[in-house]
Structure formats: C-alpha cells, structure tokens
Structure 1
Amino acid sequence: MSLHHDLGDVGIASALRRDGRVAGALYLVVVLTGIFCLAWVPSQLGTDAAGAAAQVGVFRAGIAAFLLMQVAFLLLPLAMYRVLGDINRHAAVAMVALATVSVPIGLVTLSHRLEALALLESIGQHPPASVDAAFQLSLQRYGHGMFIAKLFWGLWLLPFGWLVLRSGRLPRVLGLLLLLGGVGYVLQVFGGLLPGFANSSLSNYATLPAALGEIGSCLWLLLFGVRVGVVRTHSA
C-alpha cells in the first residue's frame, strides 16, 4: 500500500512539474507579446495618422502580437488551474472565469485597432483631416475597450495570488505581489473615473506589483518549476 502511495505521489509531482512548465511557457508568450504590443509599439508610433502611417508595419505587428497574446491568455488560466486547482476549487474556477472574460473584451476592442489600420491604408484617398479625425476616434474607442479589459486583468490576479500564497507551490512573495497587483489594477480602473487620478503617482505605480508578480511567476515556473514538497492538498 505504501509503495502504491509513493508511486502515486511521484506521478502527481511529475504532472505538477510538467503543468508548471506549460503554464510558464504560456505566461512567457503573454509577457513578451504584451510588452511588445502594449508598450513598445505605441512608443514607436506618432500621435496622428500621418505619423502612424510611417510605421504601418509596426502597427500591423502590434495587432498580430495582441492576437497572439489573447490566445495565450485564454490558455494560461487553464494551465494554472492544473497547477493550483486542487488547492481550492472555487478560487481556481474564479481565476479561470475572470481571466477568460477579458479575452472577448480584448478581441472586440482590437476591432477598433483594425479600423485604424484600414484608415492608415486609405491615406491619400481621402482628405488628411478627415482620416486623422477618424483615426483618433478609432484609437479612442480602442482605449475605452482596454480600460474595461484592464479590470479583468486585475481581478483574475486576486484568486491567482491567493492560491499561490496558500499553496506554496511558487514563492509566497509572488502571491503577495499578484494580490497587490490585482488591487492596483482595480484601483487604477475605478480611480480613472475620478478627475485627476490618471495623472497621479498612485495611478502610475498601481500596477507595478502586478508586473513584478507576473514576470516573476513566469520566470520561476520556467526556471525552477512548481514546488512539489506537498502535493494535492484537496480543499473545497
């Protein structure tokens, strides 16, 4: 009986390590594509249609990266469920649900980016002023959609961070950073509805713990894997 039990624990530990590596690889895709399309691409584009048209290839690459990010982000919480789902089923289901909700929001939001791309390709066929006005409107709609998606990018971190803290399968400091980051995202979204908050120091640094926690979790899973000293501690 003891031998069968030990073999079962070995199999569970092996599965956890494998699932952790898969989750880490998916997280790496999310992190890299997110940095590219949400940070680097906007920094390369001008503030008007003419400036963006000069970098239309970069604009296209940003759209492709965003699509890839959404696919990876759809799979990531499912992979994390396999790593943490046995710790607390309700929290794990909430983690998956909150992350998954953001994907259709992000894809609908991306449609405005595609509208903007079509406008860039039509420069020269219409008066520049009308193209630029429509381009700015498309980007504004894109920004509004991202504002909503950001709420769920934060909410999923709350059950995720709690599961990391409770399980100990990743360093607990990462769980704390994920929790603080989730709160930061929510604060940034609701605070953004208040006048002047968007330009405050609190808004600028609210999501820093999330960045540290998510990049840290990604690297830990890839480099060290899941801690399996204690495995499958079922909890309702």
Structure 2
Amino acid sequence: MTAGAVAVRRDGRISGALYLVVVLAGMFCLAYVPSKLGASPAGASAHADLFRAGIAAFLLMQVAFLLLPFALYRVLGDVNRQAAVLMVALAAVSVPIGLVAVTHRMEALSLLEGAPGTASDAMEAAFALCLQRYGHGLRIASLFWGLWLLPFGWLVLRSGRLPRVLAACLLLGGVGYVVQVFGGLWPGIADAGWMAYVRMPAAIGEIGSCLWLLAFGARPGLQRSSTD
C-alpha cells in the first residue's frame, strides 16, 4: 500500500470519528431530549439536567460539525477542488446559524432557573417563544445540513472512496432536507404524511458513511485532477 493510500485511509478514519460525534450528539439533542421534555416548562423543569445536557450535546455537535468537512476535504479534495470547497463552505455556514439558535434554548433554561416552582402564564409564554425561535433557527440551519450533502455525495460518487450506494443516499438526503425546509413553509405540505420520510435517505447515508469511514477509512479510489 502506497503512502498516499495509507494517508487516505487514516484521514478517512479521522473523518469517521468526527462524524460519529456529530451523529451521536445530534441524535441525543435533536431527537432524544425533545422526546423526553416536550415543549412545556413543567416538563423541562422536571428534567432540568437533561435540558442542560441537550444544550451541551448541541454545542459539541456544532464543534464536531465544523471540523468534519475540513477532515473530509483531506479525503476528497483531490477529486474536485471546487466541489470540495463548496462542501466545506455549506457545512461551515450552518454552524454559526446553529449557535445563534441554541442561544434561545439557553434563554429558556434561564427562565426555568429564574422561576422555580409553578410557572406563570407570562413565563410559559416566554418559554414557548424561546423554543419557537430555537426551532426557526434549526430550520434555517437544516437547509445547509442538506445542501452540504450534495457536493459531499457527488464527491463520494466520483471518487469511489466510499460505497456508491452511500453517495446515492447522501444526494437524495440532501434533496430531502431542502424539500422539507421549503415545503414546511406551507401547512398543506408540512402536514403531508410523506414529509416524515424525505430525510430518511440522509440518515442512511450519513450514518452509513460514518460507520464505513470509522471501520475502514476511505478507499484510495479514483484519482482526479483538482481542477477537473
């Protein structure tokens, strides 16, 4: 095995480790925590430590997600430099949006800490507003969580450094994110049953890519000119 192939595999495993942090932290703060807390101050107060842990996990996810595309650039940058730069830019843009969004979650935590016991109507309204603003921020961030998958999936497809079935899932998942963000602006579309499934290819592609990179690294694959 050449030194270049060894480096590609090593960089692939580093990317996989960062991806694992993003996946696990994201599942915890975006799925598990909301399912346990609900949207009321009472639920959040009863699980205040879980509420705090969700914020911490979200911050960890953002740090890992900022580093991840740079690690993937080392794996895929020689396939097509312009597409790799676009991949990094689209992923990185989502991080400050996500960090601004989570400040509203922190404001909600401050409300809980400042008003222990039974919540007043004003406090419940302020708490709901914080969560609403957090949700709006996540919607904008999720647009870029989808868009970055398009150049990422295309680079995987061209390079052959990961299974091409994962590339197809990444591309379909990127489109699914975009459809969900824009479709969610219209109630008739947002409430459609099929909207619950449009991001499923992204979940398969991202978790699959994470596990493949972690276990095997990236295959040397096809070599491309950086300006191709």
Per the shorter chain, which TM-score range?
Answer: over 0.9
The Cα of 1:124 is off from its aligned counterpart by: 3.7
* Matched letter for residue 215 of structure 2: L
* Matched letter for residue 28 of structure 2: F
The Cα of 1:12 is off from its aligned counterpart by: 0.7
* Matched letter for residue 167 of structure 1: S
The Cα of 1:129 is off from its aligned counterpart by: 1.2
Q: Aligned equivalents of 1:124 and 1:176: distance in 2?
A: 49
Q: Aligned equivalents of 2:16 and 2:194: distance in 1?
A: 30
The Cα of 1:135 is off from its aligned counterpart by: 0.2
Check the 8 A contact 2:167/2:205 in 1, yes or no: yes
2:49 aligned with 1:45, yes or no?
no
Consecutive unaligned residues of structure 2, counting only runs of 5 or more, are none
**Aligned position for 2:191:** 199
**Aligned position for 2:224:** 233
DSSP-derived class of the 1:228 partner: coil
The Cα of 1:137 is off from its aligned counterpart by: 0.4
Out of 82, 85, 98, the residue aligned to residue 106 of structure 1 is 98
| TM-score of the superposed pair, with normalisation by structure 1 | 0.93
**Aligned position for 2:70:** 78
Q: Aligned equivalents of 1:224 and 1:11: distance in 2?
A: 16
Distance 1:45 1:127, change over 3 A: closer
**Aligned position for 1:6:** none
Following superposition, which runs of at least 4 residues in structure 1 exceed 4 angstroms of deviation? none
Q: Per chain length, whose mean CA-contact separation is higher, i.e. which structure has more relative contact order (CA < 8 Å, sep 6+)?
A: 2
| TM-score of the superposed pair, with normalisation by structure 2 | 0.96
Distance 1:74 1:165, change over 3 A: same
The Cα of 1:229 is off from its aligned counterpart by: 4.8
* Matched letter for residue 53 of structure 1: S
Out of 137, 140, 156, the residue aligned to residue 145 of structure 1 is 137
RMSD: 1.3
Out of 128, 152, 164, the residue aligned to residue 156 of structure 2 is 164
**Aligned position for 2:146:** 154
Larger-gyration structure (1/2): 1
Q: Aligned equivalents of 1:128 and 1:182: distance in 2?
A: 42
Check the 8 A contact 1:198/1:204 in 2, yes or no: no
Consecutive unaligned residues of structure 1, counting only runs of 5 or more, are 1-8
Out of 203, 218, 221, the residue aligned to residue 211 of structure 1 is 203
